Amino acid sequence: MLKKLFPLILITSIASFSYAQNLDSITVVKTKWQKTRVAKQVRLFRHHFDQKNLFAANENISFLEIKNTGRKAVFALGAEEKELITTSNFGIRDTAIAALNGNFFDVKNGGSVDFVKVNGNIINTNRLDKDGNRARHQQAAVVIDNGKISIKKWDGTADWETKLMEQNIMLNGPLLTYNDVDELLDTTSFTRLRHPRTCLGVKPNGRIILLTVDGRNEKSAGMSLPELRKLMKWLGCKSAINFDGGGSTTLWVAGMLDGGVINYPTDNKKWDHEGQRKVANVVLVKKK
């Protein structure tokens, strides 16, 4: 009897999972986002899914959508070799329209643990493991050429990033989707568990999404990387790359309330806009 029931239970479970995923995608697509014009070619979208109606959880999502033309709004990197400063201070210092926290860094000594080049100057190099292997967050990059940003995938060579021609390069990851193809994700707790997340996505029309998902709070659970990948797809992205998240997750926009901090950073363990963590680098949106 049990042998006969098991396939039925399995089929029912798969069907229920698929149905839930379809509902989630419809929920995102039909969401009435709170929209704010930040600058020419830059729009802010916000929504709090507060009825446990996305991945069966509460989720607070904020993102910028930017026309990636290199005209009215341009992309840039802000970075320090060793010092750590907040995302908002990076944005203010560099007179930016907006700033998003960047890649992974040395919390104790400062500076990125991944390759970063700004305006042709190498700021940090990769820190490899004891066997000389790259971390998952060193197997892709965001690069900026003439104010336009794009994602590139590691080609497997040891000196890949040094051969890239762009003057502004930030290794990051893991890569979630690349040209409509899902990348293989590992099964570590970093991937499987829900955390605050930061992500950059590229839409087929070239527009860029800079996104944060808040977490570690009953008002917003955060997302696993598979969930984040689904979200970016539902927002229309053909490629998406994960950034450093957790307590680092911060989206800042000049001139907005709460000092410009849009999301709810978690370093102070409060549901407010005061809990920024100091970081090593950021992606900036600037007026040309």
What tens digit of pLDDT does each residue of 142-181 get? 999 999 999 999 999 999 999 999 999 999 999 999 999 9
Strand partners, 124: 116
Place of tokens 């970016």: 232
The H or E element that residue 207 is part of is none
- Average pLDDT value for the chain: 93
Contact call for residues 64 and 41 (beta carbons, < 8 A): no
17 or 81, which is more confident:
81
pLDDT at 11: 42
Query: Across residues 50-72, what is the average pLDDT?
Result: 96
Give CA separation, 156 vs 137, 139, 277, in Å: 13, 8, 32
pLDDT in tens, 254-280: 999 999 999 999 999 999 999 999 999
Instruction: Give the pLDDT band (50/70/90) at residue 15.
Output: very low
Neighbours of 108 (CB within 10 A): 6
Residue 16 has pLDDT above 60, yes or no: no
Q: Do the Cβ atoms of 98 and 72 come closer than 8 Å?
A: no
Whether the predicted pLDDT of 13 surpasses 60? no
Q: Can you give the pLDDT at residue 1?
A: 53
